Amino acid sequence: MTAQARMVENHGTKIQVGTPRLVTMMMMAAVTMIEKKWTLAIYANSTAR
């Protein structure tokens, strides 16, 4: 824990700058995956009928 805390203190600014970008990428990836799942589900339903 102390080593991690030290790293956060040393690279605090880098983490603060990098985190929003990372979170945005994660959100975008999650949204894309959900959209793909829904698209596939809708497509499967329409073709089944």
Domain ranges, ordered by start, for the chain: 20-49
Secondary structure of residue 1 in the 3-state scheme: coil
Give the tokens for residue 25. Answer: 């990428």
Q: 35 is written with which tokens?
A: 């959209």
Q: Look-up: residue for tokens 């970008």?
A: 21
pLDDT digits over 1-49, tens only? 576 666 666 655 565 666 778 888 888 899 999 999 988 888 888 887 7
Q: How far apart are CA 43 and CA 39, in angstroms?
A: 6
Q: By C-alpha distance, which of 26, 18, 25, 27 is closest to 8?
A: 18
Helix H or strand E encompassing 25: helix 12-48
Q: What is the pTM of this model?
A: 0.44
